[in-house]
């Protein structure tokens, strides 16, 4: 930024601002006369002094054109200045009280001239006092004290004081020897009643300048002193000599040599005006770093502030933020008062400065936002989620899990379902087909709709659950495709925990059915039942491989239904559908194969649609098990997904994650892939979180509201149905995605299946198929609460499933 240009600009501004009020010509002439007279008297008097025309006119104005008084005043002033110049900062003090200093400024500054006061509202408030002392390295001391006064004392004089401090500092830097005393006395500066020892010149001269300068210029302005202080209007050059020039090497625009010349040519206004305006505005750097909000709203940026700003703001105001920038700054108030008083004068500059302020305020705000602990504030709409939900009248929705032995054709069946219902487009299918054939697994193409993992595709086996959606006219379904392999039963448990009902896929081909029944067909069916699933649809798959043999179907139906009834499913909740996933018979369309004519029942989709509406615990406290933690997008760097198990939530809610106990805020959320403001139990949601570190979130953690948190427990009593022998031993505890190690520490009793009454206390071992009450302990705290269904596994087998008590 060109300093020179700025200079000119400021001059112009100044001129506009302080422009003469075009006094009447007679007045002007009279003034001229008086001025000459005063100048002459000054020159001839003893000691001879020179004064600028401006000064003289100002003095005249003050004394109502009384020449004598003006001469006396000016002489006194000049004499003092000369004295000062000769004996640098030592003398010149006693005059201070003579100048109109607003009394209120003094006391608050004194009051605030302590570190404790200064840091009162700063973020590191709690630092013990003895520590604060460390912060107060000496050079900072005056700065802070002066600065600290600024916010409260109406800005005016404190600004001056701040300037003085800055100058003092520079002085001190120049002459380190003097620095300490100068610094020490600075506080005294501000109190007129204390005749400060020394170091006075700068504030004094400044005030003088202001007093002397402003008055003649604004004869009509009653509050000119105030105003000049606030604005830092330019001072006439002769007074400059009082300023310790050498102490300001960084203000090259005020050339020292010029001064004598000016002194000599006091009446050359034109000459001195540019000099007067050599006041650098704050550098772009300074204002960027520091923001301008605390600065008095000047119509013209003055060197006063440029001097103070760069030094002080950086250390003081903006970092400590002693006052919020919400209201107008005290300087603003003054400027506004001025502009209202003489609206025509400062309209333009005021507007300009307003814009200026806004921009800089933004900058300051932006800087604030960059702070380390950035907190995202999401406004909650405070919806009544339950009534919103009742109003919303959504389509009936249901989650179902697809279970069955490995290679029963679960994924393929679901792929076929999605393909036939046009939930997957044909092009994608063709692509899968090509790719599958390329690696010699053509028959897996349909399964690839759900098996998206590279490993899953390479091995042709589902590893993790996959969810997908499709809609019929009546219902929006969410498929949870579970893996069948025994090693991935934990994943299947996670899937089953999200399901309302289950589709059991059975491989009807010879031998496969039998091996499946011993394997995961049985385990899965028992698991979904013990996890609370009531309804099960049995899809007897691969019927094409047995030529749609009715006998085979009947045999399977008979065996499976007897097993399922034994597992606790009610016969009315069991349905059988013969189908072929690979060919698509009896899935969405009836089979045209003549061999299937014997089957007149519903297709799989029709069977799915018979599912009734499932009710969820909407009014219970929020519970949701995190199924996945992932990076959603650039806007949402941290997202979690899962199914809301109980309660409701909405955007802006503060959540508690357990077991970490960390808080997070919902930035936004999606229900079934659509952005929404709220979600209720039973819905599959993606929550985009803010204000939490991802390390605190793991799949299996539980989300709740801090108003009704779930507790972390290390031990629980549970009533279980034993699938295997139970004895005190190590087990894996599963609840949805939650998978933690634990141990059965005590077998409390075996219970009667019907009544639940204890049969035998402290059994040594619990036989498979019996119901028992056991105590399970865990090493770390786990968020579990009654009544939750848990599954206990050991050595790759499900040993028990039960309900927390």
Partner 1 sequence: MRLIKNKVELNGSGTVTLCPEEPEDMWHAYNLIRPGDLLRASAIRKVTTTQDTGSTISSRVHLNLEIRVKNLDFDPQSSQLHVGGQIVNETPHTKIGQHHTLDLELNRNFTLEKEIGANGEGVGWDSIAVQMLKDAVDEGGNRRAEAVAVVMQEGIAHICFIGQFQTILKQKVEMSVPRKRMGGSEHDKGMSKFYQTTLDTLLRQLDFNTSITSMTSSEGVRPVLLASPGFVATSFQKYIQTVATNTPGLKRLLPSIVVVHSASGYLHSLSEVLQSPAVKTILADTKYARETKLMDDFLEQLRKETNKAPYGPREVESAVDQGAVGRGGGILIISNRLFRSQDVAERKRWVSLVDRVRDIEGGEVRVLSSDHESGTRLDGLGGIAALCTFPIPDEDFSDED
Residues in contact with partner 1 by CB under 8 A are 452-456, 459, 463-466, 468, 485, 487-488, 490, 627-631, 694-695, 697-699, 725, 727-730, 732, 739, 741, 743-745, 761-762, 764-765, 767, 793-797
Of residues 302 and 468, the one with the C-beta less far from partner 1: 468
CA atoms within 13 A on the CB side of 411: 27
Q: How far is the CB of 761 from partner 1 (least distance, A)?
A: 4
Of residues 351 and 730, the one with the C-beta less far from partner 1: 730
Q: How far is the CB of 692 from partner 1 (least distance, A)?
A: 13
Of residues 490 and 802, the one with the C-beta less far from partner 1: 490
Q: How far is the CB of 584 from partner 1 (least distance, A)?
A: 22
Q: How far is the CB of 475 from partner 1 (least distance, A)?
A: 21
Of residues 354 and 748, the one with the C-beta less far from partner 1: 748
Q: In terms of Cα–Cα distance, which of 666, 710, 669, 670 is closest to 691? A: 666
Query: What pairs with residue 676 in β-bridges?
Result: 669
Tell me the chain's radius of gyration from C-alpha atoms: 43
Dihedrals φ, ψ of 49, to 5°?
A: -130, 155
**In sequence order, what DSSP letters do the residues of 625-685 get, joined into one string?**
EEEEEE---SS-S-EEEEEEEESEEETT-EEEEETTTEEEEEEEEEETTEEESEEETT-EE
Of residues 92 and 721, the one with the C-beta less far from partner 1: 721
Q: How far is residue 169's CA from residue 512's CA, in Å, rounded to a whole number?
A: 91
Task: Answer for the pair 23, 219: CB distance below 8 angstroms, yes or no.
Answer: yes
Task: Answer for the pair 478, 399: CB distance below 8 angstroms, yes or no.
Answer: yes
Of residues 174 and 485, the one with the C-beta less far from partner 1: 485
Record the tokens describing residue 471, joined without a space: 């809609």
Q: How far is the CB of 749 from partner 1 (least distance, A)?
A: 9
Q: How far is the CB of 104 from partner 1 (least distance, A)?
A: 56
Between vectors from CA 763 to CA 761 and to CA 766, what angle results, nearest 5°? 125
Of residues 431 and 589, the one with the C-beta less far from partner 1: 431
Q: How far is the CB of 411 from partner 1 (least distance, A)?
A: 12
Report helix, strand or coil for 791: strand
Task: Answer for the pair 308, 344: CB distance below 8 angstroms, yes or no.
Answer: no
Q: How far is the CB of 702 from partner 1 (least distance, A)?
A: 15
Of residues 306 and 641, the one with the C-beta less far from partner 1: 641
Q: How far is the CB of 369 from partner 1 (least distance, A)?
A: 28
Of residues 721 and 799, the one with the C-beta less far from partner 1: 799
Q: How far is the CB of 602 from partner 1 (least distance, A)?
A: 29
Of residues 156 and 735, the one with the C-beta less far from partner 1: 735
Of residues 112 and 737, the one with the C-beta less far from partner 1: 737
Q: How far is the CB of 84 from partner 1 (least distance, A)?
A: 56
Q: How far is the CB of 791 from partner 1 (least distance, A)?
A: 12
Of residues 150 and 629, the one with the C-beta less far from partner 1: 629
Query: What pairs with residue 721 in β-bridges?
Result: 771, 801
Of residues 282 and 742, the one with the C-beta less far from partner 1: 742
What's the burial of 315, exposed, middle or buried (CB within 10 Å: 0-12/13-18/19+)? middle
Where b means 16+ CB within 10 Å and e means fewer, 51-88 reads bbbbbbbbbbbbbebebeebbebbbebbebbeebeeeb
Of residues 118 and 477, the one with the C-beta less far from partner 1: 477
Of residues 217 and 416, the one with the C-beta less far from partner 1: 416
Of residues 146 and 799, the one with the C-beta less far from partner 1: 799
Of residues 312 and 629, the one with the C-beta less far from partner 1: 629
Alpha helices of 175-291 — where are they, by DSSP H?
176-189, 201-217, 224-231, 258-264, 269-276, 284-290
Q: In terms of Cα–Cα distance, which of 552, 418, 387 is closest to 481? A: 418
Task: Answer for the pair 774, 720: CB distance below 8 angstroms, yes or no.
Answer: yes
Q: In terms of Cα–Cα distance, which of 77, 9, 95 is closest to 38? A: 77
**In sequence order, what DSSP letters do the residues of 422-462 get, joined into one string?**
TSS-HHHHHHHHHHHHHTT-GGGTGGGGT--SHHHHHHTS-
Report helix, strand or coil for 551: helix
Q: In terms of Cα–Cα distance, which of 47, 54, 38 is closest to 83? A: 47
Cα dist from 219 to 8, 21, 242, 299, whole Å: 25, 8, 26, 19
Q: How far is the CB of 453 from partner 1 (least distance, A)?
A: 5
Q: How far is the CB of 195 from partner 1 (least distance, A)?
A: 50
Q: In terms of Cα–Cα distance, which of 604, 589, 599 is closest to 413? A: 604
Q: How far is the CB of 729 from partner 1 (least distance, A)?
A: 6
Q: How far is the CB of 458 from partner 1 (least distance, A)?
A: 9
Q: How far is the CB of 629 from partner 1 (least distance, A)?
A: 5
Between vectors from CA 357 to CA 352 and to CA 358, what angle results, nearest 5°? 100
Q: In terms of Cα–Cα distance, which of 675, 650, 734, 663 is closest to 703? A: 663
> Which residues are CB-neighbours of 623 under 8 A, at least 6 positions away?
644, 645, 646, 647, 702, 703, 704, 710
Record the tokens describing residue 26, joined without a space: 């007679």
Task: Answer for the pair 725, 774: CB distance below 8 angstroms, yes or no.
Answer: no
Q: How far is residue 176's CA from residue 158's CA, in Å, rounded to a whole number?
A: 25
Record the tokens describing residue 80, joined without a space: 């003092």
Q: How far is the CB of 424 from partner 1 (least distance, A)?
A: 10
Record the tokens describing residue 468, joined without a space: 């997908």
Task: Answer for the pair 549, 511: CB distance below 8 angstroms, yes or no.
Answer: no
Record the tokens describing residue 500, joined without a space: 């309302």
Of residues 413 and 697, the one with the C-beta less far from partner 1: 697
């Amino acid at each position: 930024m060109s300093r020179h240009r700025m200079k000119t600009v400021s001059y112009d501004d100044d001129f506009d601002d302080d422009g003469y009020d075009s006094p009447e010509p007679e007045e002007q002439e009279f003034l001229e006369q008086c001025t000459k007279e005063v100048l002459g008297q000054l020159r001839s008097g003893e000691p001879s002094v020179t004064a600028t025309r401006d000064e003289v006119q100002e003095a005249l104005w003050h004394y109502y054109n009384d020449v004598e008084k003006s001469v006396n005043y000016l002489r006194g002033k000049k004499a003092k200045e000369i004295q000062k110049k000769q004996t640098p900062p030592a003398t010149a003090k006693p005059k201070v009280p003579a100048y109109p200093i607003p009394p209120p400024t003094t006391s608050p500054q004194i009051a605030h001239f302590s570190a404790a006061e200064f840091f009162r509202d700063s973020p590191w408030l709690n630092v013990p006092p003895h520590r604060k002392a460390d912060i107060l390295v000496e050079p900072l001391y005056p700065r802070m004290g002066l600065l600290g006064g600024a916010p409260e004392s109406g800005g005016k004089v404190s600004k001056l004081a701040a300037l003085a401090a800055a100058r003092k500092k520079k002085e001190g830097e120049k002459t380190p020897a003097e620095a300490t005393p100068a610094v020490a006395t600075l506080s005294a500066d501000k109190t007129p009643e204390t005749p400060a020892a020394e170091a006075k010149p700068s504030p004094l001269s400044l005030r003088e300048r202001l007093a002397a300068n402003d008055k003649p210029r604004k004869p009509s302005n009653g509050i000119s002193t105030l105003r000049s202080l606030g604005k830092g209007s330019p001072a006439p050059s002769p007074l400059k000599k009082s300023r310790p020039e050498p102490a300001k090497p960084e203000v090259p625009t005020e050339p020292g040599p010029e001064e004598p010349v000016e002194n000599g040519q006091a009446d050359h206004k034109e000459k001195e005006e540019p000099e007067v305006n050599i006041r650098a505005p704050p550098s772009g750097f300074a204002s960027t770093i520091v923001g301008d909000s605390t600065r008095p709203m000047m119509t013209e940026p003055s060197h006063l502030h440029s001097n103070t700003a760069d030094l002080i703001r950086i250390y003081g105001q903006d970092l400590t933020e002693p006052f919020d920038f919400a209201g107008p700054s005290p300087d603003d108030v003054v400027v506004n008062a001025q502009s209202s008083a003489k609206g025509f004068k400062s309209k333009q500059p005021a507007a300009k400065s307003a814009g200026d302020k806004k921009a800089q305020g933004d900058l300051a705000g932006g800087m604030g936002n960059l702070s380390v602990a950035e907190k995202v504030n999401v406004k909650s709409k405070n919806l009544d989620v339950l009534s919103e939900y009742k109003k919303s009248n959504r389509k009936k929705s249901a989650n179902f899990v697809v279970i069955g032995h490995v290679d029963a054709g679960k994924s393929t069946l679901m792929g076929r379902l999605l393909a036939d219902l046009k939930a997957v487009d044909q092009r994608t299918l063709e692509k899968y087909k090509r790719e599958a054939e390329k690696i010699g697994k053509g028959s897996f193409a349909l399964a690839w709709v759900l098996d998206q993992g590279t490993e899953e595709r390479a091995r042709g086996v589902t590893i993790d659950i996959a969810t997908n959606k499709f809609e019929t006219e009546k219902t929006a379904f969410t498929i949870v495709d579970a893996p069948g392999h025994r090693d991935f039963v934990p994943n299947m448990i996670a899937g089953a925990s999200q399901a309302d009902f289950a589709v059991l896929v059975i491989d009807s081909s010879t031998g496969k059915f039998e091996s499946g029944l011993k394997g995961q067909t049985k385990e899965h069916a028992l698991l979904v039942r013990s996890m609370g699933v009531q309804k099960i649809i049995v899809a007897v798959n691969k019927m094409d491989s047995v030529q749609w043999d009715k006998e085979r179907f009947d045999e399977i139906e008979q065996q499976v239904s007897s097993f399922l009834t034994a597992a606790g499913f009610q016969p009315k909740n069991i349905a059988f559908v013969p189908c072929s996933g690979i060919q698509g018979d009896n899935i969405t369309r009836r089979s045209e194969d003549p061999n299937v004519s014997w089957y007149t029942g519903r297709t799989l989709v029709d069977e799915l649609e018979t599912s009734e509406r499932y009710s969820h615990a909407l009014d219970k406290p929020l519970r949701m098990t995190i199924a996945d933690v992932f990076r959603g997008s650039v806007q949402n760097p941290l997202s979690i997904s899962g199914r809301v198990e109980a309660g409701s939530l909405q955007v802006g809610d503060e959540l508690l994650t357990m077991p970490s106990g960390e808080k997070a805020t919902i930035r936004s959320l999606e229900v079934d892939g659509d952005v929404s403001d709220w979600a209720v139990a039973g819905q599959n949601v993606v929550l985009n979180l803010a204000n939490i570190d991802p390390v605190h979130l793991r799949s299996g953690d539980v989300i709740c509201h801090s108003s009704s948190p779930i507790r972390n427990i290390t031990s629980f009593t549970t009533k279980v149905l034993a699938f295997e022998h139970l004895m005190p031993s190590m087990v894996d505890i599963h609840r949805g995605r939650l998978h933690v190690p634990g141990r059965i520490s005590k077998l409390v009793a075996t219970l009667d299946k019907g009544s639940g009454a204890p049969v035998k206390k402290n059994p040594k071992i619990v036989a498979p198929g019996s119901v028992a009450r056991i105590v399970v302990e865990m090493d770390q705290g786990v968020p579990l609460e009654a009544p939750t269904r848990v599954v206990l596994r050991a050595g790759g087998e499900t040993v028990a499933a039960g309900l927390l008590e």
